[in-house]
Structure 1
Amino acid sequence: MKKRVLLKSLSLLLSSVLMTGVLTLKPKAAVLTDFSKDEIISAPIQSIQTLDAVYGVENGVNVAYTTVTGSASSKIPAMFNVVDLDNEKLLKTFELQDASSAWTHVITKDGSVYIGTTGAKAKLFKYSPSENKVEDLGVPLEGDSTFYSLSTDGELVFGGGYSTGAIFSYDPANTKFRNYGKIDDGTVPGDDGKSENYIKSMVYHKGSIYAGTGTNNGRVWKINPATGEKVQLQIPKGLPENKGSEDKMGMVYHINVVRNYLFAFFNGPRTVMIYDLDKEQWLNTVIPEVRGMIGVSDEVNGHVYFSSRDTNMYRFNLDTLTLDPNPVRSFNTNLRNTAVIDLKDSEFGKNTMVSVNFNGSFYLFDFDNNKWGLTKSVVSSQPNNIQSIEKSADGNIYISGYMGSIGVKYNPLTGESTNFTLGQIEGMGSLGNKLYLGEYPTAQIFELDTTQTAPKPVKIGQIGEGQDRPFKITSGDGKVFIGTIPGYAELGGALTIYNPENKSFKTIRNIVPNQSIVGLAYKDGLIYGSTSIAGGLGIDPSEKRAKLFVYDVDNDKVLKIQDLEVAENETLPMISGLEFGQDGLLWGTANGWVFALDKETLKVVKKKQLYPEITNYGRWRPTYIKFDNKGLMYTNPGEKLTAVDINSLDSKFIANTGIFTLDNEDNLYYAKGVYFHKVTPKALEFDVSKEFTPITLNLEDKELNLYDEFKKQIGLSINEEDVYFEVVGSAVNLKDNILSAVSEGEATITPYLSVNGEYKKLNEIKVTVKEAPKDPDTPKEEPKTPEDNNTGKDDKGGNTSTETTNNNEKLAKTGFSNNSIILITLGVILISLGCFIALRKKYKTI
């Protein structure tokens, strides 16, 4: 009996092969989920950010000119404001189109205010009090995205910023710009040979421009505005306050000239050095431990004032050139641009120093009467760009803003938002009910108890070791793991391990030499990490390709540093997104690739190039990988949010974003500029018995995009890989989903649609090809000879043969050609015949 069943099965197999004629090899299933429900929830970070101000008088009233940050990428322009300081009220506001913020303002002698902005291109604007308008003067330096400093001789305006390292002048008389070129190119005798891309500070004084450069080893330069001639004011070595960093001074963050002294604030050693402009030499006196946006204030009663890193304000005596060791007052914030004014009808005296605060209010310091105060903020808030989002263990989503001062807790179930005080958070990660937040600058780490109703982050430490940006935070076995980027002009990131039990930090810098850490995943006592070749701003990478590494936590040992076997022929600046999947594999991204690794060997088990056009992506911000509850993986290589089936690696693009997360219901949330989006995934439903509308083509029409036509008829948002077609009939040809009319006649198209992981055969689509309607004036054709009538049709006009053609796209997916299918078919036939004959010989009784 068993013999008969076996032979019967072989016979059926042979019969089925002979009957089908073609072996159809189908591609694997694609992701068939609808992500079209994409809604903007809000612009959640609404705050006032005022970076700078200048001060003047309009109509006898003391006024401040300041700009509130917006978002040019989200079409929300920065707002220029005129504020009445005497009466604490807003007088005027003007939009600065295509500008996100303004780090610098300057007033010329005619009362005009010039505004240097940040945006896709740095622009110069002019406010005229007499004309009561703001004018866009355009782009002074192609290649600059930010202007950090403006100065004036009273008529001409000078400026510079990032990233050309050049300075410009603007002449309002002829409305012309002049480009002086890059100032610090590293070639001047005595220079360090390193080019600097920042003009961070500038002042005009007695016929010369003094410009401060950076970021690596900035210097003060004296420039002749008429000739463009430049000289570096080389600094003395061996001053103890500079802590031996004369070759690593960072930026000249601010320059101010008071009397005959130039005060230069270097943010490397955090010192203010003093240059005697009359004697043309640096003093040995140095002001140490300075913080803030400026080094020293303008003169008030023979002193200049500064904010110290010890959270106090101090003063420096201009007559004795000595520092008063006693604090003037407590001042735990940054000092910004200052002026000395006489407030009208005020409790403050005539020599009141004013300085703008970050939230649009103004500090008032009456040193004569030992009085200080803070005005109310009268400018309006603006939406700010979102810097980071993350879901915590309580299911809420926490949001931080760029240059932030507030954070938001968003409840996905109720849609309610709660604001709280928070700086610029680069990365977040959870351990139990605690959310850990990494703040820029200086890599400060905060802990937030998510069980509390009102969010209140508490600072638990600072990483140190020259680290600046904590972009990656994860956890495991009761510990928190943090990957960081170093500070300005530094290479070499760090892995930091925080133990909440004993509140200890352990930082290991340069696990991979000269590379930053942007990917971390923990499993079974080991940290699996990945890197970026980038360091801080102002320094080029020394390495060519990012790396993978494995670190043993208990034994404090690097077990492995390894290249990634992906994108071997591409530049590879970053590997990130490391996460363990439900399949036990370690998943990650690099350029436009997604890959999975064996955790023991770090060998690539799976990989797919989702976006071939992305071949050199990454600097600081990692890509992310999140797994939902249904087996889909979400990732954003090259800031392209994408759903991936981890079995087939089929994928679907969703949106462009560098930041996203998932809630507990598998809804997607992402940020784009100031806006917070929600995408609700929906499994596509389709009636496979649907009847399709026939297609009619004229020979004159020639072509139709079959994919577009199919998508229109089924009414679903699908990708091209979600469907393939089989065509029967010689009247049409199908190539790359373009259906072409070949000859009069009919054809049938069979669509195969991916539904729930399998391709389903749908009803046929009838296609009719007709001859194009003839123009009545067209001459009749001459009768054809018998040879001309050899068209491949029989006497009745029917087809003498029927051709079955598989879509070329389908064959490309499977990797098989028609010849391959024929060979496989013949192989199966021969094997079946061989088995049949062998069994016949063995079982002669049958």
Structure 2
Amino acid sequence: MKRKILMLVIIFPLFLSLGQPGVFAEGDNQASLEPEDLEFIEDQESPETIVNEDEVEIIEEVNENISLVGPQVYQTSALTAAAGSDEDGNPYMYFVMHGTPSALAIVDLNTNELIHTYTLSHSTSAWGLDVDEDGTVWVGGTTDGHVYSYNPNTDVFLDHGNMLTLPKDTAIQDLDAVNGMVFGSTAYGGSVFLYDSFAEELENFGQVLYKKEFAKSLAYDEETNALFVGVGSKADLVKFDLNTKKKTAFLPNEYKDDKYVRDIKFIDNQIFARMEPSNRLVVFDKETLEMTDEIELNSRTVSLISPTEDAIYYSKENSLYKYDLLTKEHTNLYIPLLKGTELLNLEFVELNDPNYPGYTLVGLIDNAGNVLKYNLETGYYEITLMELPPQPVTLYTMIHDEKRENIFVNGYMSGGLAIYNPKTNQSILHQNISQIESMTIMGDKLYIGAYPNARVLELDLTKPWGLMNPREIMRLGEFGQSRSTAITAVPKLDKVFVGTYPETSVGGGALAIYDLKENKQEIYENYIYNQSLVSFLHHKEFIYGGTSIHANYQVNERGARFFRFRPDWPEEKEYIHLPIEASMITSIIADKNGTIWAMADGTLVSYHPETKEIKTKQILELISGRFRNAKIIEGIDGNIYGTVEGRLFKADPKTLDVEILVKEGANDIAQDSEGNLYYRNEADLWKYTFPVEEEEKK
């Protein structure tokens, strides 16, 4: 089906930590950073990578050739927050800072001063956060599923270790701490567990509901010894009786089209469950499990019952609201939040401040660290930007420019774009840009496929970063597309071609074409039936493309497709049939001789457009992921270089002989003008320098 539809620059030396808050491009609230943003990297079973040792040469003495360049992207990005007090009544707010690794930042709410920062080793983010009755804050991390605690009474921070025992689990989604008993829910096994912090014992109760990968939220009911768990995708709500092990799913059908139940709270004798993404708060009787009410809201959660009245608080349309539990009346308090923000948490504290007598509602309103304080007695309020510590973030997407003078590298999830100059060993960091899925250069313009909403941006490299640079030229979220995973440009036509990964559309990814002269777009939905478009290359009279069999959390039974079409006639596509079966074709390039090269899973493929000859060389038998696991480039020496499943390799284009140069930790690839290779590993950029004897051979 076809539809026609007529930022700040900082220069810094390496390893210098920057403090500018990072935000999404205009129109995308950074508060939309959510745990599901992790799924495309972590929602994968990572099979053991197997190398055919008889055919692939492994270079063992490699450490002498690699050197650490260091972190490139720093962001101040608070994923979530919670408030609590010590035994003396001193109030604190606890922030989980996104980074590699993440950090727990502790702010004194009386002074707004940062008093502690603790590294959350083994975690690149954390979503489970709860404060126990004694004031201890508990944190559940991702990547290795560690649980951490900080006790403000003793000033002790502890790492309690990995709580994930099921093979599919990679991240803790939520925590509920009750008197030292810590309940947790997970992805992607969708399980729940109990950690007894006194006995230091762990019990996993298994998957909550069959085929539900996300146990997104949970709350423990001490009176009945039952867990209430929100699962997805698609959404359901489950009561899990820990005495009888009986599970009762009770979410009404009209809510099961939602993705998750993202937050659960007990208020009086009722259950308040926040639906995602429909912005509905559904209320149930805790005993009968019958639905009693529904509230529309925008905040991530609601407060517990007010300590001064029978009311709860939430935010909607950038304003604070109060809901009277007795009269069912909603009152707009006309407390304006920052543009494009909503409350991420709401809690009550007592401050030692004459402006805030009695109880004060506090809440984080965005990832930059802005905090609302609203006094229940006087109505006095303030929004304060907390000085939170920036963290190095995992690097995500990387390319070099046409002359190989600069390397563009993006930060995962919280975004940021660094431009690294290998000759000066310095970077320019642009923080105000979100996660990037793909990049291509045409002349002096960098075209960017940005997440979320499958946006496409144009960055003029000759102009300062500012309000309209980069500028948004397309947004494909309305077509059910979430990620712009393939991008290329055709200078002759002055058009940009984009392929997408769908999230909520019925079919596969879309082909989007933007005419830079006419300023209009064309959209071809479900371009390759029920598959995602994950790699593009413009070469001569064709655009070559590759797909992934993963789309809409479904797996297409037919293998990934390798295809091409003429840029001026995209309706007609030609399939190039490979002699191998693959789940995704993740990178396509053309060498100086006009041969097309691609990575199909763990196999290097060459295709000669004139003779139609196809050659393949398997580097790995097994791969993981949905659309990002390999990338190739042609080196300035004529060899093909690439990374796949953490291995950096070199391939002779004539013989297809392959050498593994780096055995692990090498992702993505770029090259400078002197022939040095660069790859990313977590937050760090690494450099591979060829041995002197190889340089002499060139």
Tell me the distance in 1 between the aligned counterparts of 2:436 and 2:695: 44
| 214, 218, 224: which one aligns with 2:235 | 218
Q: 1:303 to 1:436 in 2, by over 3 A?
A: farther
Question: Conserved in 2, the CA contact under 8 Å of 1:473 and 1:482?
Answer: yes
Partner of 2:36: none
Partner of 1:482: 498
Question: Conserved in 2, the CA contact under 8 Å of 1:165 and 1:199?
Answer: yes
Tell me the distance in 2 between the aligned counterparts of 1:620 and 1:500: 28
Question: Conserved in 1, the CA contact under 8 Å of 2:480 and 2:505?
Answer: no
Structure of higher CA gyration radius? 1
- The answer to whether the aligner puts 1:54 opposite 2:82 as a matched pair is yes
Q: 1:471 to 1:317 in 2, by over 3 A?
A: farther
Residues 135-183 of structure 1: CA deviation (Å, up to 9, x unaligned)? 3333333132211111144453211121221111233443332222211
| 123, 126, 147: which one aligns with 1:102 | 126
Partner of 2:472: 459
Counterpart residue type for residue 457 of structure 1: P
Partner of 1:91: 115
Q: 1:591 to 1:622 in 2, by over 3 A?
A: closer
Deviation of 1:621 after TM superposition, in Å, equals 1.1
Tell me the distance in 2 between the aligned counterparts of 1:35 and 1:451: 38
Partner of 1:631: 638
Counterpart residue type for residue 301 of structure 2: G
Deviation of 1:490 after TM superposition, in Å, equals 7.2
Q: 1:491 to 1:671 in 2, by over 3 A?
A: farther
3-state SS in 2 of match to 1:636? strand
Counterpart residue type for residue 280 of structure 1: L
- The answer to whether the aligner puts 1:43 opposite 2:43 as a matched pair is no
Counterpart residue type for residue 619 of structure 1: R
| 101, 115, 135: which one aligns with 1:111 | 135
Counterpart residue type for residue 417 of structure 1: S
Question: Conserved in 2, the CA contact under 8 Å of 1:405 and 1:424?
Answer: yes
Deviation of 1:102 after TM superposition, in Å, equals 2.1
Deviation of 1:367 after TM superposition, in Å, equals 6.9
Partner of 1:593: 603
Deviation of 1:385 after TM superposition, in Å, equals 0.9
- The answer to whether the aligner puts 1:140 opposite 2:163 as a matched pair is yes
Question: Conserved in 2, the CA contact under 8 Å of 1:484 and 1:516?
Answer: yes
Residues 199-220 of structure 1: CA deviation (Å, up to 9, x unaligned)? 11112344332211012x1111
Question: Conserved in 2, the CA contact under 8 Å of 1:212 and 1:218?
Answer: yes
Equivalences, count? 624
Higher relative contact order, structure no. (Cα contacts within 8 Å, ≥ 6 residues apart) = 2
Question: Conserved in 2, the CA contact under 8 Å of 1:123 and 1:138?
Answer: yes
Q: 1:525 to 1:271 in 2, by over 3 A?
A: farther
Counterpart residue type for residue 403 of structure 1: M
Question: Conserved in 1, the CA contact under 8 Å of 2:546 and 2:562?
Answer: yes
Q: 1:429 to 1:260 in 2, by over 3 A?
A: farther
Tell me the distance in 1 between the aligned counterparts of 2:80 and 2:647: 35
Deviation of 1:499 after TM superposition, in Å, equals 2.0
Tell me the distance in 1 between the aligned counterparts of 2:589 and 2:314: 47
What is the CA RMSD across the aligned residues, in angstroms? 3.3
| 542, 559, 562: which one aligns with 1:545 | 559
Partner of 1:123: 146
Residues 410-440 of structure 1: CA deviation (Å, up to 9, x unaligned)? 2333233222212111221122222122222
Deviation of 1:122 after TM superposition, in Å, equals 0.8
Tell me the distance in 2 between the aligned counterparts of 1:427 and 1:314: 40
Partner of 1:162: 187
3-state SS in 1 of match to 2:645? helix
- The answer to whether the aligner puts 1:440 opposite 2:447 as a matched pair is no
After TM superposition, list the pairs within 5 Å mapping 1:651-800 onto structure 2: 651-655=658-662, 656=664, 657-681=666-690, 684=693
Partner of 1:197: 213
Question: Conserved in 1, the CA contact under 8 Å of 2:642 and 2:668?
Answer: no
3-state SS in 2 of match to 1:269? coil
Q: 1:96 to 1:285 in 2, by over 3 A?
A: closer
Deviation of 1:541 after TM superposition, in Å, equals 1.0
Percent of aligned positions that are identical:
26
Counterpart residue type for residue 174 of structure 1: A
Tell me the distance in 1 between the aligned counterparts of 2:208 and 2:79: 25
Question: Conserved in 2, the CA contact under 8 Å of 1:252 and 1:267?
Answer: yes
Partner of 2:200: 175
Counterpart residue type for residue 522 of structure 2: K
Question: Gaps (5+ residues) in structure 1?
Answer: 1-26, 186-194, 238-245, 688-754, 757-846
Q: 1:275 to 1:685 in 2, by over 3 A?
A: closer
Deviation of 1:608 after TM superposition, in Å, equals 2.3
| 613, 616, 624: which one aligns with 1:607 | 616
- The answer to whether the aligner puts 1:385 opposite 2:363 as a matched pair is no
Counterpart residue type for residue 444 of structure 1: R
- The answer to whether the aligner puts 1:285 opposite 2:285 as a matched pair is no
Q: 1:303 to 1:501 in 2, by over 3 A?
A: farther
Counterpart residue type for residue 296 of structure 1: V
Q: 1:311 to 1:129 in 2, by over 3 A?
A: closer
- The answer to whether the aligner puts 1:353 opposite 2:361 as a matched pair is yes
3-state SS in 2 of match to 1:630? coil
- The answer to whether the aligner puts 1:248 opposite 2:249 as a matched pair is no
Deviation of 1:368 after TM superposition, in Å, equals 6.5
Question: Conserved in 2, the CA contact under 8 Å of 1:48 and 1:68?
Answer: yes
Question: Conserved in 2, the CA contact under 8 Å of 1:397 and 1:410?
Answer: yes
Partner of 1:499: 515
- The answer to whether the aligner puts 1:648 opposite 2:648 as a matched pair is no
- The answer to whether the aligner puts 1:519 opposite 2:543 as a matched pair is no
Partner of 2:416: 406
Deviation of 1:623 after TM superposition, in Å, equals 2.5
Question: Conserved in 1, the CA contact under 8 Å of 2:454 and 2:484?
Answer: yes
Deviation of 1:41 after TM superposition, in Å, equals 1.8
Question: Conserved in 2, the CA contact under 8 Å of 1:576 and 1:624?
Answer: yes
Partner of 1:565: 579
Partner of 1:811: none
After TM superposition, list the pairs within 5 Å mapping 1:292-307 onto structure 2: 294-299=300-305, 304-307=312-315
Tell me the distance in 2 between the aligned counterparts of 1:654 and 1:580: 22
Counterpart residue type for residue 398 of structure 1: F
Which structure has greater helix proportion?
1
Tell me the distance in 1 between the aligned counterparts of 2:121 and 2:671: 34
Q: 1:389 to 1:369 in 2, by over 3 A?
A: farther
Normalised by the length of structure 1, the TM-score is 0.67
- Please identify, of 577-586 and 171-180, the stretch whose mean Cα deviation from structure 2 is larger: 171-180
3-state SS in 2 of match to 1:375? strand
Residues 463-494 of structure 1: CA deviation (Å, up to 9, x unaligned)? 12221122222111311122222227976222
- The answer to whether the aligner puts 1:341 opposite 2:354 as a matched pair is no
Q: 1:361 to 1:430 in 2, by over 3 A?
A: same
Residues 655-697 of structure 1: CA deviation (Å, up to 9, x unaligned)? 342212223444322211111123344663699xxxxxxxxxx
Tell me the distance in 2 between the aligned counterparts of 1:621 and 1:454: 28
Tell me the distance in 2 between the aligned counterparts of 1:624 and 1:280: 51
Tell me the distance in 1 between the aligned counterparts of 2:331 and 2:401: 48
Tell me the distance in 2 between the aligned counterparts of 1:625 and 1:170: 45
Partner of 1:233: 250
Deviation of 1:366 after TM superposition, in Å, equals 4.4
Tell me the distance in 2 between the aligned counterparts of 1:366 and 1:397: 49
Tell me the distance in 2 between the aligned counterparts of 1:639 and 1:495: 29
Deviation of 1:276 after TM superposition, in Å, equals 3.8
Counterpart residue type for residue 511 of structure 2: L
Tell me the distance in 2 between the aligned counterparts of 1:34 and 1:229: 55
Counterpart residue type for residue 133 of structure 2: K
Q: 1:528 to 1:684 in 2, by over 3 A?
A: same
Deviation of 1:372 after TM superposition, in Å, equals 4.1
Question: Conserved in 2, the CA contact under 8 Å of 1:574 and 1:617?
Answer: no
Tell me the distance in 1 between the aligned counterparts of 2:376 and 2:171: 35
Question: Conserved in 2, the CA contact under 8 Å of 1:496 and 1:506?
Answer: yes
